[in-house]
A and B are shown apart, each in its own frame.
Chain A
Amino acid sequence: MTVDNTSVGSGGTRVGDPGLGGSNSIDAIREDDILDAPPTGAVPTAPRGRKVDSVWKLYFRKPGTIAFLIVLAVVAIASFIGPYFAGNPVATVNPTLLPPSFEFPMGTDQLGRDYLPRVLLGGQVSLLVGFTVALLCMTLGLIIGGLAGFYGGLADAFLVKVAEFFQVLPGIVLALVAAALFGANIWVIVIILSVTMWPAVARIVRAEALRISQLGYVESARAAGFHSTRILWSDVIPNAMPPVIVATTMTVGRAILIESALAFLGIGDAEQPSWGALLNSAQSYMATGWWLALFPGLCIFLVVLAINMLGDSLNDSLNPSIGKVK
């Protein structure tokens, strides 16, 4: 969900925390402490070269980062490797609707299937869709946004209109239409989500490309005789990456949420239900099997939370706010 202001140029989702603490000040002038100034521009200055290292170092030193990366890793491992160890997800031999117990850590569902392996398997689709969509968005966004911001003029105007067009129809709605007309299919969903979510990334790429194109070294590269395209790919794009990476991270989260919403509405793979699909079936059993609704949703929540937190702290690492220095 990104936003374009008509005259004030703030970009997409920007989040920032005040201050990073640091050394104590005791002999400071006791002052009205209006919070430390955040970044003043809509996009962070792209760190380059050695500065990038310091951004990464900062990032990994934050306690949250490691913790959430572990969460993601655990979920990924649990989804892809866990099922081999967890039990049989399709055998309907057990008593139905058993609450969680030692034997069945997540209980059994309405057909007597062990719920734990089903939940674990459910992660596969959600994670795959999330990351695939994000990667496609990043690629499309880089290409289109880069071209628009770098070349400007008519190409830019045209591409902006194209982006606007793809943003008008919400992904969920378009996916529903496609499902109605073509039947539900995981690839259709991936394509539709990518098609409706790339404009958000492209917007950020474009803003960065515009900004970077005006910096001195692009002019000098041109003067040195470098081909425009080459400048775009070897200089402009790499320096635009930091906010793009943040945006792509956030896209993973959003894509997972939309995919699970679609699965909840019955649009997804019938063979291998994703978390959303599990929640769909769980709806009828809210009174009799609360665990059926709890666990898949909890998984979605944990994964998206971890991803959002990681994106957030990445954003913070890129825009450390120390207070204005004039």
Chain B
Amino acid sequence: MSTSTARNASPAAPARGTTLLTVRDLAVRLPTGTKNEVRAVNSVSLTVGRGDRVGIVGESGSGKSVTGRAIAGLLPGSPRVRVSGSIVFDGDEMVGAPPKAWQAIRSRRVGMIFQDPLTFLNPTMKIGKQVQESIVARRQPGVNVREEVLRFLSLAGLQDVAVLASRFPHELSGGMRQRVLIAIAIAKLPELIIADEPTTALDATVQQHVLRSLDETVSTLGTSLILISHDLAVVAGMTDRIYVMYGGRVVETGTTASVMGSPRHPYTRALLRSVTSLTDEGVDLYSIPPALRAQLDAGALDVVIDHDRDGDPDPALGAEGEVRAS
């Protein structure tokens, strides 16, 4: 939990300026095996304002990535994938919208940064070309594409961009590749960037550098950001507001400072505790107790604690976070 502590001190209001994205009761069902399906996302609601930086944090299987993809319209194309609920982007309802509408969103308004830069870049296409596609999709006539490519590569924190543009992904290091993914996302000058575990595949030292690049880029362009990660430190350092997810649901939300500082949902508390137990001296390693997990999985703790709305802790929850008999 090191970078940009200034972030945590920003105002508590949910939206700075107008609302860009409102997601309400989003549910995504994905097929598993040939007949079954699983609810990867189960009634998630979130809001992102213009210029906001929002984090979605949770463990693997919490549905955070699927949520991000659903918003970007990048779920698998199988007809067995089912989405319900509402995703309103700048006033337009996206659930059920025709492919053309989604295409328009993806080409100009929402950019996505993926996790593993090695597999997410086309191995047979030059870097410059891959960034170029983002720019061309903008459909902005009178733009010097070549210059723009180099501009965005620099903006993403890369050096020697002229040379780099004619290289192939395999010739770059992991950190550089991730910056290329950032460049690809920002080159379309989007209003919203969704970064799905952007540093998970990188070494610890490189992570910090790439995060800084992302931070600067997003600041410079004034883009909204949804940062998805399992790593609390990453999310805490870069976001104003945070959504904690477990098992396809949001369990707690509020400003990053508030949620991190005084978590109320048992899961969030356990999560924070397990992270701090890693770094604190003389504390045994803490992991989420099986009993808690059982409660969570059974749906006993299906409450959404919203720090901006609730004054007091949920009366159904005890001081230790256990569910009180009602």
User: Residues of A with Cβ closer than 8 Å to B?
Assistant: 19-20, 22-25, 27-37, 54, 58, 320, 322-326
Contacts and interface: CB of A to CB of B under 8 A. Distances in A.
Nearest to A22: B80
A322 B33 contact: yes
Contacts of A30: 96-99, 102
Nearest to B66: A326
Nearest to B68: A326
A128 B175 CA distance: 59
6 contacts: A20-B34, A27-B95, A29-B97, A31-B75, A32-B102, A35-B77
Interface string B75-111: 1111111111000000000111111001100000000
Contacts of B98: 30
Contact of B76 (A27, A54, A323): A323
B94 A29 contact: yes
Given A322-B32, A322-B78, A325-B32, 10 more contacts: A19-B80, A23-B31, A23-B80, A25-B82, A27-B84, A29-B70, A32-B103, A34-B77, A322-B31, A323-B30
B34 A22 contact: yes
A323 B65 contact: no
Nearest to A20: B34
Contacts of B81: 25, 28, 323
A35 B79 CA distance: 10
A31 B66 contact: no
Interface residues of B, number: 31
Given A31-B75, A32-B102, A58 B34 contact: yes
B186 to A, nearest CB: 22
Contacts of B32: 322, 325
Contacts of B69: 326
A36 B76 CA distance: 7
Nearest to A320: B34
Given A37-B76, A323-B77, A27 B34 contact: no
Contacts of A322: 31-34, 78, 80
Contacts of A325: 30-32, 40, 76
A32 B34 contact: no
B51 to A, nearest CB: 27
B99 A32 contact: yes
Given A32-B103, A58-B34, A322-B32, A24 B79 contact: yes
Nearest to A36: B78
A154 B306 CA distance: 62
Contacts of A326: 65-66, 69
A324 to B, nearest CB: 5
B115 to A, nearest CB: 9
B99 A31 contact: yes
A27 B75 CA distance: 14
B83 A27 contact: yes
B37 interface: yes
B256 to A, nearest CB: 25
Contacts of A28: 79, 81-83
B35 interface: yes
A22 B35 contact: yes
B278 to A, nearest CB: 24
A29 B66 CA distance: 14
